[in-house]
Amino acid sequence: MSEIRHPEKVKNKESEVLPKPKWIRSRIPSSDTFKSTKEIIKKGNVVTVCEEANCPNLGECWSKKHATFMIMGDTCTRACAFCNVKTGKPEALDQFEPYRVSQTVKNLGLDHVVITSVDRDDLGDGGALHFSKTIDLIRQATPKTTIEVLTPDFLRKEGSLEVVLKSKPDVFNHNLETVPRLYLSIRPGARYFNSLKILSDAKDIMPEVFTKSGLMLGLGETKDEIMQVMDDLRSAHVDFLTLGQYLQPTRKHAPIKDFISPEGFSRYKEIAESKGFLMVSSSPLTRSSHHAGDDFLKLKELRVKESS
């Protein structure tokens, strides 16, 4: 069984671009629910990673009134080679943003919400207090909504993780994104073992929180490297792993080296499950927040079974 497809390469000025295979498809949104979601988000004056990162699942998620919020502005202090979010000098934090997000969550009627952010290396705490305020205000606005945070690495921001966890998110997510060998070219502002440590520390500080991390595949990593990252994550007691296909946002971003077939993703799912992850989501269009609410409910059920 072939796990990786190497299509014929098309050369461009900036990089080589691989044509998408037939299994990479995004639906064109048209439903009334999609339009309603878009209007609520616009009216709420909030930023979503769905739009900023050109997520291929935007149409599906917004058609279900699901959205992932990106706090602390739309400008990142880092320049990761895979990310479509703009880089530059961010504006000062908007102190009213946590409230607007909480009201938008309420207006969308979300049972589960994912809150992520840009990197804010310019802030003393990396934006940890802003995360905490957002969690607290969502709890006040919609007490039954479960909350998942997808945080930056808080590199050299001592005490920031504790600030976020003090507000007791239901899921703590931090993505490793790729294998250690590729960090210098793909995540030059990050450090692999710092990212791994934040996941381990989150579980040590708050054992009851579900921890989660994800990888993009197709950047040139090897199968052995992927398996080693799986082992590293299990050593950090991470509960949930997501694996998805990297899709090059523009020709100036890191090129796609391979497209992994759906069968290849299924095989990686089997391997990850055999290593002891409580849950694994692995497919070409898997993203950290895709089906996050449904996955959270499954995680709760699995933990109950484990403890019984």
What pLDDT score was predicted for residue 21?
81
Percent of the chain with pLDDT over 70: 83
Q: Spell out the alpha helix ranges (H) of 63-118.
A: 97-108
Task: Give the span between the Cα atoms of 261 and 214, in whole angstroms.
Answer: 18
> Judging by beta carbons within 10 Å of its beta carbon (0-12, 13-18, 19+), is residue 134 exposed, middle or buried?
buried
CATH architecture of 4-307: Alpha-Beta Barrel (3.20)
Domain positions in the chain are 4-307
Task: Give the span between the Cα atoms of 300 and 286, in whole angstroms.
Answer: 20
What tokens does 43 get? 């009216």
Span 143-192, pLDDT tens digits? 999 999 999 999 999 999 999 999 999 999 999 999 999 999 999 999 99
What pLDDT score was predicted for residue 7?
42
Lowest mean pLDDT among 35-39, 88-92, 252-256, 291-295: 291-295
Q: Spell out the alpha helix ranges (H) of the chain.
A: 32-44, 49-52, 58-62, 97-108, 128-141, 160-166, 183-186, 192-205, 223-235, 262-274, 292-307
Residue 198's SS3 state is helix
DSSP states of 128-171 as a string?
Answer: HHHHHHHHHHHHHH-TT-EEEEE----TT-TTHHHHHHHT--SE
- Calculate helix-pair angle for 192-205, 223-235, nearest 10 degrees: 30
Span 256-285, pLDDT tens digits? 999 999 999 999 999 999 999 999 999 998
Query: Average model confidence (pLDDT) for the chain?
Result: 86
What pLDDT score was predicted for residue 300?
74
Q: pTM here?
A: 0.88
What pLDDT score was predicted for residue 233?
98
The number of CA neighbours under 13 Å toward the Cβ of 114 is 25
- Residue 211 phi, psi dihedral angles, 5° rounding: -105, 150
What tokens does 91 get? 């504006």
What pLDDT score was predicted for residue 82?
87
Confidence of residue 9 (pLDDT cuts 50, 70, 90): very low
Span 138-155, pLDDT tens digits? 999 999 999 999 999 999
Task: Give the span between the Cα atoms of 282 and 275, in whole angstroms.
Answer: 14
What pLDDT score was predicted for residue 286?
87
Confidence of residue 249 (pLDDT cuts 50, 70, 90): confident
